[in-house]
Amino acid sequence: MPIVFDNRYARKFPEITTSQPIKPDGKANLLWLNEPLWVELSAGDKPPAKLADWLGGLEPWPGAEPVAQKYAGHQFGHFNPYLGDGRGLLLGQVVVGEKLQDIHVKGAGPTPYSRGADGRAVLRSSVRELLASEAFYALGVPTTRALALVSTEGKIQRERLEPGAILARTAATHVRFGHFEHCFHRNLEDTMKHLWQDTIETVWPQLANASVAEGFAQVVKRTAEMIAGWQAYGFIHGVMNTDNMSIAGETFDFGPYAFLDNYKPEKIFNHTDAGGRYGFFQQPGIGLWNLKRLAQALSTMVEPDELQSALDNYETQLRQAYLNLMTKRLGLSAVPDEQKMALIGGWLSLLEVNNADYQLSFRDLIDSLESGAPKGLLKQSGESWWKEYQSAINGYTDIDVMKQVNPWVIVRTHHAQRVIEASEAGDNSLLEEYTQALMNPFDDALSDSVWARPPKPNEQVSQLSCSS
């Protein structure tokens, strides 16, 4: 059967939404479709021939009721009450099993919340979000998903004139921390109560009868687990504003993100983040800071003291989730926790001192375990750590587990740029090829693939633009 929408959000919250159709920007061409995700959403139905026209706004998508959402947020630590979907529209929800999934489009044209901007998305940023979301999904880190990408005939002015695009994505919800900040600062108490209850029920049906404090505890836990995934895989989000934080704890609104190539944890990629607020090491603390802003917004519904215990658990939950992931990545399941942290710290120090590749160094460790002798970085300058590691694991190896969590292929900025340039020139074959590799990142057949290769010195990127 075709995708069937249940537009409950638009029906329930007209006071924080504005209905409007996708505004066409010329002819739309389907560049990429996530066929497995489409099958999941449509219960096996084939994608319609008119999908590009639906996403491009040339014809209305049957059953969809597009709305732009109003919210607020703290941007780089400063409250901004004027935020909202400035270029995105929530098309509606789709029933998938016992849960709902949002379908949302980015680049749909100006809305009342565009603040004078053009409401469009460029192909560059759309491809980057597509790559990151599918890579994270394959890695097992909570994330929105990319459903489809269409090009438009529009030429969008950013730092340069760029081709336009519209990206369709799915999420457990598009409700953000900033939604509740908007309700709090506008004294929309009834809206806040209904929005909180509806969001918790939508994302976690088993918590339908939970208290606000219990629901908040789930948001804290999921946020901690998400950020632990970022830290374990060397991901820098770049713009952790509260309006970019999902209540569902899914990686959301990819901007000038990067996965580390060489392990330089102090590196700042977002050229607008001069103070380094959203640097790699800062992300766990910013996650807690953002959760405190959410707790403040919820204070009209619940006593702040009732939320404090969940906030107090955040650091422990993040640390445990990180430890669990790094235990798998380094094969430390037989090692006591206190010794694990020492080995993880020593490993990261080794990578940093040697400016080593963050992803492929884990594969060197696997090679070393399989051969019984240090390889790569471990042979060059890591023998001391290797001996300590061997003593700790005491002959017990987790090689099979390690191979299931240590990717050959990750989103690398120089590969993404190559894909973007090809797509801008009308060649989408690299987009399909790279995406397939990212969806199967642990496949040993990719070990010699071009997509597994780290950047050469002249291919390394020092800064990324937030404009999209």
List the catalytic residue out of 243, 261, 357, 398: 243
What is the pTM for the complete model shown? 0.96
Select from 143, 177, 211 the last residue of a domain: 177
Is 160 one of the annotated binding-site residues? Answer: no
The span from the CA of 265 to the CA of 288, in Å, is 19
Is 169 one of the annotated binding-site residues? Answer: yes
Select from 379, 397, 415 the last residue of a domain: 397
| Three-state secondary-structure class, residue 170 | strand
Q: What is the DSSP letter of 16?
A: G
Contact yes or no for 28/122 (Cβ under 8 A): no
Residue 240 domain flag: no
Select from 177, 206, 240 the last residue of a domain: 177
Residue 136 domain flag: yes
Which backbone phi and psi does 100 adopt, to 5 degrees? -105, 145
Give yes or no for residue 20 having a pLDDT over 60: yes
Which backbone phi and psi does 302 adopt, to 5 degrees? -155, 150
Contact yes or no for 173/102 (Cβ under 8 A): yes
Annotation says 243 is catalytic: yes
Residue 166 binned pLDDT confidence (cut-offs 50, 70, 90): very high
Q: pLDDT tens, 34-54? A: 999 999 999 888 899 999 999
Q: How many domains does the chain have?
A: 2
Domain ranges, residue 364: 332-397
Distances (CA, A) of 422 to 233, 247, 415, 433, 451: 27, 35, 11, 12, 15
Residue 211 domain flag: no
Which backbone phi and psi does 32 adopt, to 5 degrees? -160, 140
Residue 466 domain flag: no
Is 190 one of the annotated binding-site residues? Answer: no
Q: Is 442 exposed, middle or buried (0-12, 13-18, 19+ CB in 10 A)?
A: middle
Distance, C-alpha 165 to centroid of its chain: 19
Residue 465 binned pLDDT confidence (cut-offs 50, 70, 90): low
Q: pLDDT tens, 378-422? A: 999 999 999 999 999 998 989 999 999 999 999 999 999 999 999
Residue 435 domain flag: no
| Three-state secondary-structure class, residue 157 | strand
Is 285 one of the annotated binding-site residues? Answer: no
Nearest to 176 by CA among 251, 121, 228, 110: 251
Give yes or no for residue 466 having a pLDDT over 60: no
Percent of the residues in the chain that have a pLDDT greater than 70, as a whole number: 98
